[in-house]
């Protein structure tokens, strides 16, 4: 019985964190926030070299053969650092192929995804708050006709795994006929999302796509929970740091008990959720009966906690907290993304209620 991460897992977090510090420091993240790409080529290249692009891809296909917990720990670290880039969609596309693809599809795509030769992404949403597999309406056969929404980095992707009614998941290759993508104007400039339209676009069914689609959803929820945890921690740390530096009434503001208690409450909200996201990640691989419900509860709970912490963090910084210049906005907006992508907390609470038989 060991409810803790291993030394290797700690090392993974440390190396990812070091990489971001070298390749994409805060100054660079701020530059990215001035644009709309949500992308840093050097950082993604470094992540690929480090193996972060193929964490859950089995070793026989050139990946690291690790588990959901490793993937989630990487997500936490990326979020803590505010790292931009296509990690989330890429990880989910790889997992969709691992869980749902034919042997031939796996051999064709997984090594390229693991080695970063191709970027993967997932097209799940359909607009009007439709995210969940059971809601998908886009019909999937040998071609696609229709639209998907909020697809990460679709214009850069070499392969898009598309959620469809019926077979669950289909695969569309870059350059397939009839695809058009259009970028959204997003609040979180460390991410990029597109609409993807298909006009008689050829696609391939993933043979195990129906079952895999649910697992991909659960994986997305765990990764968003982990991301939100990393963001919440960062926001808290920023506030504590500021409270030790900023002076008013002749003392640092951390002396004031009202503020101290606000920060203590933020810590009380975020710190205990670390174990929740670890557990949700662990059961994804090890206790599959519990996985869907834990993923739903973790996503709902942690993204909500972090969103409130982000609001508190603005207040804790005073006037500067409301500026573009203040770094709080980076994680505030990341929290908004994490909360909404794949469905808001109340959607997943209701799902959790149903799964409990309530």
Partner 1 sequence: MDLDYGKEYEDFRAEVSGWLSSNWPPKGELAELPLAEGAARFRAMASEAGYLNRNIPRKYGGGEQPPDAIKGQIIREAFAKVHAPMEARGIGSMMLVPTLLERGEEWQKEKFVKGTINGEIIWCQGYSEPGSGSDLASLQTKAELIGDEWVINGQKIWTTTAQQADWMFCLCRSEPDQPKHGGISYLLIPMKQDAITVSPLKQMTGGADFNQVFLEDARTPADHIVGKRGEGWSVSRTTLKHERNSIGNAAQSEAIFKGLVALAKTSQYNGRPALQDPTIRQRLAGLEGYILSHKYSGLRQFTKSAKGEDVGIIGLMNKINSTNIGSEVSKLALDLLGDDGMLDPIAHEEMTLLPTGGNRGWINQYMYSLGIAVAGGTGNIQRNVIGERGLGLPRDYYADRSSGK
Q: State yes or no: residue 346 binds partner 1 (CB under 8 A).
A: yes
- Number of residues this chain uses to bind partner 1 (CB under 8 A): 47
C-alpha triplet 222, 224, 230: angle, nearest 5°:
105
Q: Give dist(CA 184, CA 163) in Å, integer.
A: 20
Candidates 30-38, 53-61, 156-164, 281-289: pick the segment binding partner 1 (CB under 8 A).
Answer: 281-289
Candidates 77-85, 149-157, 170-178, 239-247: pick the segment binding partner 1 (CB under 8 A).
Answer: 239-247
Taking the complex as a whole, how short is the minimal distance between the CB of residue 48 and partner 1, in angstroms?
Answer: 26
Output the DSSP codes for 111-122.
Answer: HHHHTTSS-EEE
Where do we find the tokens 């695969």?
171
Radius of gyration of the chain (CA): 20
Q: Which residues pair with 147 in a beta bridge?
A: 197
Q: Which residues pair with 143 in a beta bridge?
A: 202
Q: State yes or no: residue 267 binds partner 1 (CB under 8 A).
A: yes
Q: Give the pair of three-digit tokens for residue 102.
A: 């034919």
Candidates 75-83, 103-111, 207-215, 348-356: pick the segment binding partner 1 (CB under 8 A).
Answer: 348-356
Torsion from C-alpha of 126, 127, 132, 133, nearest 10 degrees: -10
Interface mask toward partner 1 for 51-90; x: CB under 8 A? ------------------x---------------------
Taking the complex as a whole, how short is the minimal distance between the CB of residue 350 and partner 1, in angstroms?
Answer: 6
Q: State yes or no: residue 139 binds partner 1 (CB under 8 A).
A: no
Q: Give the β-pairing of 159-164 and 120-123.
A: parallel
Taking the complex as a whole, how short is the minimal distance between the CB of residue 35 and partner 1, in angstroms?
Answer: 35
Minimum CB distance to partner 1 smaller for 110 or for 302: 302
Q: State yes or no: residue 265 binds partner 1 (CB under 8 A).
A: yes
Q: Give the pair of three-digit tokens for residue 298.
A: 């973790």
Q: Which helix (H) or strand (E) holds 247?
A: strand 247-248
- The b/e string for 183-210 (b: 16+ C-beta within 10 A; e otherwise) is eeebebbbbbbbbbbbeebebbbbbbbb
State which of residues 50, 210, 240, 336 lies at the interface with partner 1 (CB under 8 A). Answer: 240
Q: State yes or no: residue 155 binds partner 1 (CB under 8 A).
A: no
Candidates 56-64, 136-144, 158-166, 259-267: pick the segment binding partner 1 (CB under 8 A).
Answer: 259-267
Q: Where are the beta strands (DSSP E) in 76-189?
A: 120-123, 143-152, 159-164, 168-173, 179-183
State which of residues 3, 103, 137, 319 lies at the interface with partner 1 (CB under 8 A). Answer: 3
Write out the residues near partner 1 by the rule CB under 8 A: 1-6, 69, 240, 243-244, 251-252, 254-255, 257, 260-261, 263-265, 267-268, 271-276, 278-279, 282, 286-287, 294, 297-298, 300-302, 304, 346, 349-350, 352-353, 356, 358
């Amino acid at each position: 019985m060991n409810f803790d991460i291993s030394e290797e897992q700690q090392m993974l977090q440390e190396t990812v964190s070091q990489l971001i510090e070298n390749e994409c420091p805060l100054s660079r993240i701020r530059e990215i926030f001035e644009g709309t790409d949500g992308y840093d080529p050097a950082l993604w290249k470094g992540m690929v070299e480090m193996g972060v692009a193929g964490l859950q891809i089995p070793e026989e296909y050139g990946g690291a053969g690790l588990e959901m917990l490793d993937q989630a720990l990487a997500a936490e670290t990326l979020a803590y650092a505010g790292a931009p880039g296509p990690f989330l969609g890429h990880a989910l596309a790889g997992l969709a192929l691992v869980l749902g693809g034919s042997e031939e599809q796996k051999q064709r795509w997984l090594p390229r995804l693991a080695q970063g030769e191709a970027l993967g992404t997932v097209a799940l949403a359909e607009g009007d708050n439709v995210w969940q597999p059971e809601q998908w309406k886009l019909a999937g056969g040998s071609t696609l006709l229709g639209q998907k929404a909020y697809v990460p980095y679709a214009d850069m992707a070499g392969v898009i795994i598309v959620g469809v009614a019926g077979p669950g998941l289909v695969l569309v290759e870059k350059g397939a006929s009839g695809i058009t993508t259009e970028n959204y104007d997003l609040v979180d400039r460390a991410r990029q999302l597109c609409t993807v339209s298909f006009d008689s676009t050829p696609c391939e069914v993933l043979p195990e796509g129906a079952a895999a689609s649910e697992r991909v959803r659960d994986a997305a929820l765990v990764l968003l929970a982990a991301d939100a945890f990393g963001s919440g921690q960062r926001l808290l740390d920023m506030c504590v740091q500021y409270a030790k530096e900023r002076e008013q009434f002749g003392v640092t503001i951390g002396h004031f008990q009202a503020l101290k208690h606000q920060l203590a409450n933020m810590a009380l909200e975020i710190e205990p959720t670390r174990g929740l996201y670890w557990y949700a990640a662990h059961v994804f691989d090890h206790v599959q009966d519990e996985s869907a419900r834990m993923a739903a509860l973790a996503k709902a709970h942690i993204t909500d906690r972090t969103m409130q912490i982000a609001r508190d963090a603005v207040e804790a910084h005073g006037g500067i907290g409301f500026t573009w210049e203040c770094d709080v906005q980076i994680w505030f907006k990341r929290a908004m993304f994490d909360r909404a992508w794949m469905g808001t907390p109340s959607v997943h609470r209701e799902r959790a209620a149903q799964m409990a038989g309530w």
